[in-house]
């Protein structure tokens, strides 16, 4: 099942990129389980470099991955996936 998560590729016609922050966090967790923390952090940093227009939200993903608490980001910049992941983290379900 973990392989299916990391093989996710959005459709070319999907112009809405709101899945990227939460997908980045979840994919990083999978990579961490399979290849280690350093490789997962490298992957997140590559995502930040690949999507410079989404740097703020991808930094959110990196901070969540590194367990730096809930990153401060204005609500208008969060998508539904980010809000769900924050709620899970606050409830303790998002811990490793």
What CA–CA distance (Å, rounded) separates 86 from 13?
28
Return the DSSP state at 70. Answer: S
pLDDT tens-place string over residues 14-66? 555 556 777 888 889 899 999 999 999 999 999 999 889 888 888 988 988 88
pTM of the model: 0.67
Reported as a pLDDT band with limits 50, 70 and 90, residue 5 is very low
First-residue to last-residue Cα distance in the chain: 18
List the domain boundaries for the chain. Answer: 2-9+16-91
What CA–CA distance (Å, rounded) separates 94 from 11?
28
- Distinct helix (H) and strand (E) counts, the chain: 5, 0
Q: Is the pLDDT of residue 68 over 80?
A: no
Task: Provide the pLDDT for residue 42.
Answer: 96
Residue 29 exposed, middle or buried by CB count within 10 Å (0-12, 13-18, 19+): middle
pLDDT tens-place string over residues 75-85? 777 777 777 77
Q: What's the Cα-to-Cα distance from 92 to each of 32, 83, 85, rounded to whole Å?
A: 19, 14, 11
Q: Is the pLDDT of residue 13 over 50?
A: yes
Task: Provide the pLDDT for residue 28.
Answer: 92
């Amino acid at each position: 099942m973990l392989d299916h998560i990391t093989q996710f590729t959005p459709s070319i016609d999907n112009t809405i990129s709101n899945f990227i922050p939460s997908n980045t966090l979840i994919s990083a967790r999978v990579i961490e389980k399979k290849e280690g923390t350093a490789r997962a952090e490298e992957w997140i940093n590559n995502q930040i470099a690949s999507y410079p227009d989404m740097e703020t939200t991808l930094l959110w993903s990196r901070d969540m991955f590194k367990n730096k608490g809930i990153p401060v980001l204005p609500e208008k910049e969060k998508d539904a996936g980010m809000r769900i992941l924050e709620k899970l983290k606050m409830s303790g379900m998002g811990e490793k």
